[in-house]
């Protein structure tokens, strides 16, 4: 049983994944993947995190490079591809080891041969803004406008990243078994509902 | 409790609606709406049916006009708008009378002030083709290619009709609370799942 979750930023997709894994009693992979890539490559977790959410840019160079790393001889684009390949290999290993929920990272496409149950989570902007506010650090003082700009930027990066590595359109309903709007459906209900369907 | 269902042709949306209404023990409106419009306007049911799935064309004229009907003084476009207005009034009356499931007919938009639970049902073409084959009359001998062309044409009409009367994009995920792909999720499971969520 493998479940992949694509999600708009601030829609509660990560929370859904965590709850779903708890209900089903299966593994939940998220930060673990980043940690494993960082371990294998000597890049910093933060850098890997950034590279695995954004489409690589030709005109930017890594700021933090960790220790020695042979990919560094190459362009950021190649580095990004290498990280993606490493990440995909790790995802496949993890999915082989046990049932799991994987959030983001094009896992729906990477694991397509295992026929995962594919969820996409989204919500209206107002709802996402509210969720982001609740999670924001106390010392962050962004206006609504700034926060919405951030949300849009992050989604744009996710969308471009997904398109670059899968050749498909992020959020296209046909790529998912279930698309859940968390504006009115509470995440805990969405998790309970999805667990029922997946267990069938 | 009002549930609206938009659906791609052949995706099982109507069946989902029927099952959902049975589980929840609430009314299911589909053909009843057409019958009621026909009764109120003296247009034939078949004609009303056609007019309420297609965007009106300027260059076609009604073939079947029933008996006297004052809208007939006007163009097909006006007639189509009049039918839509009549239909919307009926939908609002029905939704006021009792909890219900309504399939198609822009009901999500018509009833937006009642805050309905909005579902969109879709599926991969292969799955829709299979479903259409199962439901096709025995004496229908269409090739796969012809059937797919039919499915695409009907969806195009639904999409244009929806856009004309709501100004919104048919199937746009943000217009729905839940989008269900029936390629892998059986309709009975989808109905049971949705009933749980809606009852909350």
What interface predicted TM-score (ipTM) does this complex get?
A: 0.84
Residue A18 has, within 13 A of its CA and on its CB side, a CA count of: 7
- Which of B120, B171, B174, B189 should be substituted to probe chain A, the one whose Cβ sees the most A Cβ atoms within 10 Å? B174
Lookup result for tokens 């995909």 = A88
**Which residues in chain B touch residue A186, judged by CB atoms under 8 angstroms apart?**
200
User: In the predicted model, is pLDDT for residue A2 greater than 80?
Assistant: yes
Taking the C-alpha atoms of residue A20 and residue B57, their distance in angstroms, rounded to an integer, is: 48
User: In the predicted model, is pLDDT for residue A62 greater than 80?
Assistant: no
Judge whether B189 and B121 are in contact, CB under 8 Å: no
| A160: closest CA of chain B, how far (Å) | 19
pLDDT in tens, chain B (200 residues): 999 999 999 999 999 999 999 999 999 988 777 777 777 777 777 777 776 666 555 444 444 444 444 444 556 667 778 888 888 988 998 899 899 999 998 999 999 999 999 999 999 999 999 999 998 888 888 899 999 999 999 999 999 999 999 999 999 999 999 999 999 999 999 999 999 999 87
**Which residues in chain B touch residue A124, judged by CB atoms under 8 angstroms apart?**
174
Q: Look at chain A and count its residues.
A: 200
| B178: closest CA of chain A, how far (Å) | 5
Q: Is A174 on the interface with B (CB under 8 A)?
A: yes
The DSSP secondary-structure symbol of A43 reads -
Name the most confidently modeled range: A63-77, A171-185, B41-55, B86-100.
A171-185
Mean of pLDDT values over A118-130 = 97
Mean of pLDDT values over A75-104 = 85
Q: Give the model's pLDDT for residue A55.
A: 57
Taking the C-alpha atoms of residue A153 and residue A39, their distance in angstroms, rounded to an integer, is: 28
Lowest mean pLDDT among A55-64, A172-181, B73-82: A55-64
Q: Is B149 on the interface with A (CB under 8 A)?
A: no
Q: Please report, for residues A29, A55, A91, A159, B196, the alpha-carbon distance to residue A85 in angstroms, rounded to integers and kept in the order given.
A: 17, 14, 10, 18, 40
Taking the C-alpha atoms of residue A174 and residue B150, their distance in angstroms, rounded to an integer, is: 19
H or E stretch including B121? strand B117-122
Mean of pLDDT values over A175-181 = 98
| A198: closest CA of chain B, how far (Å) | 9
Q: Give the model's pLDDT for residue B57.
A: 52
**Which residues in chain B touch residue A122, judged by CB atoms under 8 angstroms apart?**
173-174
Taking the C-alpha atoms of residue B28 and residue B99, their distance in angstroms, rounded to an integer, is: 9
For the stretch B21-25, contacts whose Cβ atoms lie closer than 8 Å and that sit 24 or more positions apart, written own/partner, are B21/B100, B21/B101, B23/B191, B23/B192, B23/B195, B24/B99, B24/B101, B24/B195, B24/B198, B24/B199
Judge whether B7 and B120 are in contact, CB under 8 Å: yes
Residue of A70, A49, A74 whose CA lies nearest to A61: A74
Lowest mean pLDDT among A15-29, A53-67, B50-64, B78-92: A53-67
Query: Which residue in A has a C-alpha nearest to residue B176's C-alpha?
Result: A181
Taking the C-alpha atoms of residue A11 and residue B152, their distance in angstroms, rounded to an integer, is: 32
What's the mean per-residue pLDDT of chain A?
Answer: 85
Judge whether B146 and B153 are in contact, CB under 8 Å: no
Judge whether A177 and A118 are in contact, CB under 8 Å: yes
Q: Give the model's pLDDT for residue B135.
A: 87
Mean of pLDDT values over A44-61 = 62
Name the most confidently modeled range: A56-60, A106-110, B82-86.
A106-110
Q: Is A63 on the interface with B (CB under 8 A)?
A: no
Q: Which residues contact A127 (CB under 8 A, 6 or more apart)?
A: A10, A11, A182, A183
């Amino acid at each position: 049983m493998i479940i992949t979750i694509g999600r708009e930023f601030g829609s509660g997709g990560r929370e859904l994944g965590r709850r779903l894994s708890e209900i089903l009693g299966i593994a939940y992979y998220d930060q673990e993947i980043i940690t494993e890539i960082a371990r294998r490559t000597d890049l910093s977790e933060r850098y890997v995190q950034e590279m695995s959410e954004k489409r690589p840019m030709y005109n930017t160079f890594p700021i933090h490079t960790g220790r020695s790393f042979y990919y560094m001889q190459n362009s950021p684009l190649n580095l990004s591809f290498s990280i993606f390949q490493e990440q995909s290999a790790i995802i496949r290993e993890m999915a082989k080891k046990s049932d799991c929920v994987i959030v983001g990272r094009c896992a729906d496409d990477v694991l397509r041969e295992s026929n995962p149950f594919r969820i996409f989570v989204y919500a209206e902007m107002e709802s996402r803004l509210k969720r982001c506010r609740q999670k924001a650090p106390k010392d962050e003082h962004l206006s609504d406008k700034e926060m919405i700009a951030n949300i849009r930027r992050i989604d744009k990066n996710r969308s471009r990243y997904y398109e670059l590595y899968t050749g498909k359109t992020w959020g296209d309903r046909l790529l998912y078994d279930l698309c859940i709007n968390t504006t009115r459906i509470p995440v805990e209900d969405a998790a309970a509902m999805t667990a029922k369907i997946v267990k069938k």
